[in-house]
């Protein structure tokens, strides 16, 4: 009879989960023993990097990724990055090794007492099978739970002695199981929503990361063009749901109640798709909507729908909803709003280079299908003003704002999309959280271009001191770090640039290389609230 370990590998193979992201400990060795040849193991030197790589891989493929962590300590190291996975609805199957069953109750070394509760509330579901024979079914349940809308991370703890036990009767059925999600809007729902939209005088669309995740950008464009409605991106976007050079694109909404209401003033209907209503950050009280406006919320997440403070929510498949509405609403002949006017930024010739110079230079050199993974929070507003993002899956950002995700995520996205080039734009404060991702990139020859913007401070945090009226706070500056030397130590070629011309050449050389590279750019600080 097959062992539990053998059946589990069969289940993983059946779902295409043949890449394992991990950092092993003793509790995991019995699972990893004699790993099948058709599986690959991607090692990260810190569990935060491991989870970041898996997160980027899962978001880029649109399918669950498999993670193997070490007991409680490894799980704890990954929790910071898991905040982003939870908010991004990333489908992750996270497993962790447990002590042998007979020693868990005595809290022997490397026991994880109450293991399923440790990552909550950052997972959809967590479990530790009550008996070894139930491990394969639990893994199967985890995969289906992670992949079923609303997608998200799940967690399974497995005692190390379970893997060598014999699988029970019926385990052979598990690899062939499928779970298909419905969630399509009923025809009457589509008609009712279309009638509400048709009845609006001046509707506006607000799109979130869920549109890009659902591969529904083209449907969003079709709906916007049929309505001739302006399009905003929901606050703090972790993906790009609409072409940024489209004439109907207006930009990214601020993450404050009052700020959103001011920008949406004059619209009588706000249609939100694939985003919460809304993910606020800085506190600026006010009315949730402009006077006289109503809101329609399209989401696949019942929790997002339930907690929204205003609006009429419909829970279902976001892609299907947008496609159906694009075909059901009445095409209007109202004048389309003119394209937004973006002033041409002043560009620097020598370092320190402004973020606008960096992003404009990247746009000049990068291929048409470049993917940007960004974790430089203080430069986000500048980036969105200049970005030319027009393809599906071209932008990724930490969904919860938690640092330490970006460098690993860039490696994961590049592994998932070998036919596209990935550029990771990372702040110097962020880079230190996950710098060991460079080792993984070097070892597996993942040709990411890591761009580290060095201004010697936590730029977003420094801006918040002014916004919040904080006169003086410690721990905001991070000077004196040589990222080129660090990259070299991890096996990644690095170079520091001193001018725009040097940056242009560095981008060209990196984007034509088959190996990862790091470009250190001395950068001027900017205020994202200015």
Residues 271 and 401 in one domain: no
- Do residues 427 and 496 make contact, with C-beta atoms less than 8 angstroms apart? no
- Examine residue 333 and state whether it is found in any structural domain, yes or no: no
- Examine residue 430 and state whether it is found in any structural domain, yes or no: yes
DSSP assignment letter at 316: S
Q: Positive or negative CA dihedral for 404, 407, 412, 417?
A: positive
The active-site residue out of 16, 26, 170, 287 is 26
- Examine residue 35 and state whether it is found in any structural domain, yes or no: yes
The active-site residue out of 15, 22, 28, 412 is 28
How do residues 146-194 score in pLDDT, each as one tens digit? 999 999 999 999 999 999 999 988 888 999 999 988 889 999 999 999 9
Give how far the C-alpha of residue 453 lies from the chain's centroid of Cα atoms, to the nearest Å. Answer: 20
Report the C-alpha gap between 400 and 496 in whole angstroms. Answer: 30
- Do residues 416 and 484 make contact, with C-beta atoms less than 8 angstroms apart? no
Is 47 marked active-site?
yes
Q: Positive or negative CA dihedral for 117, 375, 307, 212?
A: negative
- Examine residue 336 and state whether it is found in any structural domain, yes or no: no
Domain end point (choices 283, 310, 328):
328
DSSP assignment letter at 292: T
Report the C-alpha gap between 385 and 252 in whole angstroms. Answer: 9
Residues 363 and 273 in one domain: no
pLDDT for 465 equals: 62
Residues 365 and 314 in one domain: no
Report the C-alpha gap between 299 and 315 in whole angstroms. Answer: 5
Report the C-alpha gap between 254 and 256 in whole angstroms. Answer: 6
The active-site residue out of 102, 105, 281, 508 is 281
Q: Quick one: which of 167, 95, 165 has its CA closest to 125?
A: 95
The active-site residue out of 15, 22, 44, 47 is 47
Is 28 marked active-site?
yes
pLDDT for 326 equals: 98
Residues 90 and 229 in one domain: no
- Classified as helix, coil or strand, 182 is coil
Residues 152 and 113 in one domain: yes
Domain end point (choices 153, 176, 199):
176
**Pairing between strand 154-159 and 203-207?**
unpaired
pLDDT for 70 equals: 96
Unique residue bearing structure tokens 């002949």: 333
The active-site residue out of 6, 25, 251, 390 is 25
Low-confidence ranges of the chain (pLDDT < 50): none
- Examine residue 474 and state whether it is found in any structural domain, yes or no: yes
How do residues 429-479 score in pLDDT, each as one tens digit? 999 999 999 999 999 999 999 999 998 766 566 566 666 677 676 766 777
**Pairing between strand 154-159 and 449-454?**
unpaired
Report the C-alpha gap between 458 and 375 in whole angstroms. Answer: 12
pLDDT for 463 equals: 61
The active-site residue out of 15, 46, 70, 89 is 70
- Do residues 255 and 467 make contact, with C-beta atoms less than 8 angstroms apart? no
For 511, the token pair is: 């984007």
DSSP assignment letter at 3: B
- Which phi and psi angles does 296 have, rounded to 5°? -115, 130
Residues 373 and 285 in one domain: no
Strand partners, 121: none
What CATH number is attached to the domain comprising 118?
Answer: 3.40.50.970
Report the C-alpha gap between 410 and 109 in whole angstroms. Answer: 34
- Examine residue 17 and state whether it is found in any structural domain, yes or no: yes
Is 70 marked active-site?
yes
pLDDT for 282 equals: 86
Residues 162 and 205 in one domain: no
Beta-sheet strand order (sheet of 294-299): 249-252, 231-233, 203-207, 269-273, 294-299, 312-315
DSSP assignment letter at 148: S
pLDDT for 378 equals: 87
pLDDT for 505 equals: 98
Residues 375 and 246 in one domain: no
> Element (H or E) spanning 204, and its range?
strand 203-207
Which residues constitute the domain of residue 314? 187-328
- Cis peptide before 121, with omega less than 30 degrees from 0? yes
- Name residues whose C-beta falls within 8 Å of residue 213's C-beta, 6 or more positions apart in sequence: 59, 62, 88, 89, 151, 239, 274
Question: Taking the complete model, does pTM exceed 0.85, yes or no?
Answer: yes
Residues 299 and 363 in one domain: no
Report the C-alpha gap between 472 and 470 in whole angstroms. Answer: 6
- The structural domain count of the chain equals 3
The active-site residue out of 48, 316, 393, 401 is 401
Is 25 marked active-site?
yes
Domain end point (choices 176, 208, 243):
176
Report the C-alpha gap between 84 and 91 in whole angstroms. Answer: 12
Residues 77 and 159 in one domain: yes
Q: Count CA atoms within 13 Å of residue 368 on its CB side.
A: 1
- Examine residue 434 and state whether it is found in any structural domain, yes or no: yes
Is 378 marked active-site?
no
How do residues 481-519 score in pLDDT, each as one tens digit? 999 999 999 999 999 999 999 999 999 999 999 999 999
DSSP assignment letter at 435: T
Residues 133 and 194 in one domain: no
What CATH number is attached to the domain comprising 220?
Answer: 3.40.50.1220
- Do residues 11 and 142 make contact, with C-beta atoms less than 8 angstroms apart? no
The length of the chain, given as a count of residues: 530
CB atoms within 10 A of CB 254: 21
- Examine residue 529 and state whether it is found in any structural domain, yes or no: no
Unique residue bearing structure tokens 């430089």: 376
pLDDT for 495 equals: 97
Report the C-alpha gap between 136 and 12 in whole angstroms. Answer: 10
Residues 85 and 156 in one domain: yes
**Pairing between strand 154-159 and 65-69?**
unpaired
- Do residues 300 and 183 make contact, with C-beta atoms less than 8 angstroms apart? yes
Unique residue bearing structure tokens 């399209």: 298
For 518, the token pair is: 């790091």
């Amino acid at each position: 009879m097959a062992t539990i370990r053998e059946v589990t590998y069969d289940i993983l193979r059946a779902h295409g989960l043949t890449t394992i992201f991990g950092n092993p400990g003793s509790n995991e060795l019995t699972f990893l023993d004699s790993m099948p040849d058709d599986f690959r193991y991607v090692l990260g030197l810190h569990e935060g990097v491991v989870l970041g790589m898996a997160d980027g891989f899962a978001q880029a493929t649109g399918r669950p990724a498999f993670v193997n962590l070490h007991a409680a300590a490894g799980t704890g190291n990954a929790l910071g990055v898991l905040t982003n996975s939870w908010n991004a609805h990333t489908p992750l199957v996270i497993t962790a090794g447990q002590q042998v069953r007979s020693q868990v109750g005595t809290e022997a070394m490397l026991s994880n007492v109450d293991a399923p509760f440790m990552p909550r509330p950052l997972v959809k579901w967590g479990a530790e099978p009550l008996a070894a024979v139930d491990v394969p079914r639990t893994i199967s349940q985890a995969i289906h739970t992670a992949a079923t809308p609303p997608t998200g991370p799940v967690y399974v703890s497995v005692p190390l002695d379970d893997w060598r036990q014999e699988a029970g009767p019926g385990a052979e059925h598990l690899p062939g199981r499928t779970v298909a999600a419905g969630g399509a809007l009923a025809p009457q729902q589509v008609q009712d929503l279309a009638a509400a939209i048709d009845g609006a005088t001046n509707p506006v669309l607000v799109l979130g990361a869920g549109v890009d995740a659902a591969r529904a950008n083209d449907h969003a464009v079709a709906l916007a063009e049929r309505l001739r409605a302006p399009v905003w991106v929901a606050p703090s976007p972790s993906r790009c749901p609409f072409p940024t050079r489209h004439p109907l694109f207006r930009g990214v909404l601020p993450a404050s109640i009052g700020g959103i209401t001011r920008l949406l003033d004059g619209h009588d209907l706000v249609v939100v798709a694939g985003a919460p209503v809304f993910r606020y950050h800085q506190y600026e009280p006010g009315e949730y909507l402009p006077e006289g406006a109503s809101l329609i919320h399209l989401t696949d997440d019942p929790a997002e729908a339930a907690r929204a403070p205003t609006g009429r929510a419909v829970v279902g498949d976001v892609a299907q909803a947008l496609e159906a509405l694009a075909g059901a609403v009445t095409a209007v002949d109202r004048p389309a709003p003119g394209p937004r006017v973006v002033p041409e930024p002043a560009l620097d010739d020598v370092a320190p280079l402004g973020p606008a110079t960096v992003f404009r230079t990247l746009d000049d050199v990068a291929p048409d299908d470049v993917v940007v993974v960004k974790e430089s929070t203080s430069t986000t507003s500048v980036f969105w003003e200049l970005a030319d993002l027009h393809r599906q899956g071209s932008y990724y950002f930490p969904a919860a704002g938690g640092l330490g995700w970006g460098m690993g995520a860039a490696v994961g996205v590049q592994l998932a999309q070998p036919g596209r080039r990935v550029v990771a734009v990372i702040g110097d404060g962020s880079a230190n959280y996950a710098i060991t991702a460079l080792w993984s990139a070097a070892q597996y020859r993942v040709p990411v271009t890591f761009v580290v913007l060095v201004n010697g401070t936590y730029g977003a945090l420094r801006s918040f001191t002014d916004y919040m009226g904080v006169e003086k706070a410690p721990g905001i500056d991070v000077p004196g770090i040589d990222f080129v030397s660090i990259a070299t130590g991890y096996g990644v070629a690095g170079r520091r640039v001193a001018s725009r011309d040097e940056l242009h050449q560095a981008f060209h050389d990196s984007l034509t290389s088959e190996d990862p590279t790091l470009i250190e750019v001395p950068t001027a600080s900017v205020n994202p609230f200015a």
